[in-house]
Structure 1
Amino acid sequence: MDTPDARQLIEQLGLAPLPREGGWYRETYRSRATCPTPCGERSLATAIYYLLTPDTFSAWHRLPGDELYHAYAGDPVELFTIDSAGSLQRTLLGTRVNRGEPPQHLVPGGCWQASRLVAGGSVALLGTTMSPGFDFADYEHGERADLFAHYPSHASLIGELTRG
């Protein structure tokens, strides 16, 4: 399969820059049904397209609910999580299952997460699904100084995947 061109994907899928986090996205589904959560009333589920290029990355952030990633096309993505115990996990998410790249990966709610295109990659088209659904009010952006203080053993990676 040919690697898609980022500009074409952005245009054809109607993607827009994702504020604060980075990358490109478009919400493709939001359930009309809602449910109560500790954060307030939320849609039962949401889904987005998400695109990374060499000059973008998903900055450290966390969400209260589980987020399921799906790899659709392009190059692999390094997806990093830090759990409540401070353990760092790296998952190489991609479409080449025969090379050990899972095409789906679950990030549990409450974990810090960040991602980037693999070195030398040109584009990755992903999707994420959340249930309960995503709400910008639930997004917690990782501040570099705070993350350094809590996870000093991961300082290098935190520095690479935060802004400012």
Structure 2
Amino acid sequence: MNAQTIKDILGLEPLPLEGGLYRQSYRSSDILSPACLPSRYPPEAKPISTAIYYLLTNEPDSFSAFHTLPTDEVFHFYLGDPLELHLLYPNGQSQTILLGHNLSEGQHVQYVVPRGVWQGSLVLPGGQYSLIGTTMAPGWSQEDFILASRDELFQRYPHKKEIILRLTRED
């Protein structure tokens, strides 16, 4: 199995702004009205839950650019090489999580990124591709997505300049 085969079988398309390839595999037909949602959400109806397939490769431009969401996001590792998930917390701390199948080496097959945390990811150097899935409840919408500014992250997390440079697109 290779990345092109996975892309073809799953019908993956480029994910605007963030990068990588994706396909929404589930979108609940049950809808939450804006009155049911916390104030951190845009005033719009949302599906109760959504899920996607997400593929990154070892190509230089294949990465998930740093972004934040108002909802916890559950990551699920499916196939391929380990994925580095980089997290920048509001309190200035940072963390790197490895998603993969090797549980005895501390890799995770599932991981929850808390809402409001800057997140970005890439295939572990030396790998070819990573196929993951993510699930969100309430479900994802484009209005939730906030793409990071490289300069703002540099100011807030000066100790993480190298990974910020790698996982942001030009301002």
Same fold, judged at TM 0.5 (above): yes
TM category, shorter: over 0.9
Q: Which runs of 5+ in 1 are unaligned?
A: none
Root-mean-square deviation (Å): 1.0
Deviation at 1:151, TM superposition (A): 1.6
Task: Give the TM-score normalised by the residue count of structure 1.
Answer: 0.95
Return the alpha-carbon distance in structure 1 between the equivalents of residues 106 and 89 of structure 2. Answer: 23
Return the alpha-carbon distance in structure 2 between the equivalents of residues 118 and 98 of structure 1. Answer: 17
Aligned counterpart for 1:110 among listed residues 116, 124, 146: 116
Return the alpha-carbon distance in structure 2 between the equivalents of residues 50 and 82 of structure 1. Answer: 21
- Residue in 1 that maps onto 2:13: 16
Aligned counterpart for 1:163 among listed residues 148, 154, 169: 169
Return the alpha-carbon distance in structure 1 between the equivalents of residues 6 and 74 of structure 2. Answer: 21
Return the alpha-carbon distance in structure 2 between the equivalents of residues 53 and 59 of structure 1. Answer: 14
Return the alpha-carbon distance in structure 1 between the equivalents of residues 132 and 16 of structure 2. Answer: 17
Deviation at 1:100, TM superposition (A): 2.3
Matched, 1:150 2:147: no
AA partner of residue 46 (structure 1): T
Q: Which runs of 5+ in 2 are unaligned?
A: none
Aligned counterpart for 1:48 among listed residues 48, 52, 56: 52
- Residue in 1 that maps onto 2:145: 139
Q: How does 1:51-70 map to 2 (within 5 A)?
A: 51-55=55-59, 56-70=62-76
- Encode CA deviations 1:27-80: one digit per residue, 9 max, x unaligned: 000111122323232111000000010010001000000000000010000001
AA partner of residue 131 (structure 1): A
Deviation at 1:84, TM superposition (A): 1.1
Q: Runs in 1 of length 4+ with deviation above 6 angstroms?
A: none
AA partner of residue 123 (structure 1): Y
Aligned counterpart for 1:32 among listed residues 25, 29, 33: 29
Secondary structure of 1:69 counterpart? strand
- Residue in 2 that maps onto 1:98: 104
Deviation at 1:14, TM superposition (A): 0.2
Return the alpha-carbon distance in structure 1 between the equivalents of residues 98 and 82 of structure 2. Answer: 6
Secondary structure of 2:104 counterpart? helix
Q: Which moved more, 1:6-15 or 1:145-154?
A: 145-154
Deviation at 1:146, TM superposition (A): 1.3
Number of paired residues?
A: 161
